[in-house]
Amino acid sequence: MTDNTYNGWRNRATWAIGLHLMDTVVGWIDDDLGAWTTTDGADIGAAAQLFQDLVDEQIELADMPSAGLLMDLLDTSDVDWCALGRAALASSDRTSLEEVPA
């Protein structure tokens, strides 16, 4: 069976975003642990949204056309946002409160 992952992530885009933004998102989660206490998986979606918002902000700050070089290098439609959110929660101090749903 062929391993189609990129350093354990779904693809290069997911890996690159995690590499550059994981510490920031984990820091935000740790700074406000009280807001990260649901057990129904909603926290994964909220953490995933943090990554999406950060990437959107970086793209906007780059002030490049939507078909520019940055968008050629990073296919945001192929990013596994939930995997990033799950990894951020698992890396945060929140894991001492409860397990991160799979």
Q: Where are the domains of the chain?
A: 22-95
Task: List, for residues 21-49, the tens digit of each pLDDT value.
Answer: 999 999 999 898 888 876 667 888 999 99
Residue with tokens 């490049």: 64
Enter the pTM of the model.
Answer: 0.81
- Find tokens 């995933």 and name the residue: 48
Residue 35 CA to residue 96 CA, distance in Å, equals: 14
Predicted pLDDT at 81? 95
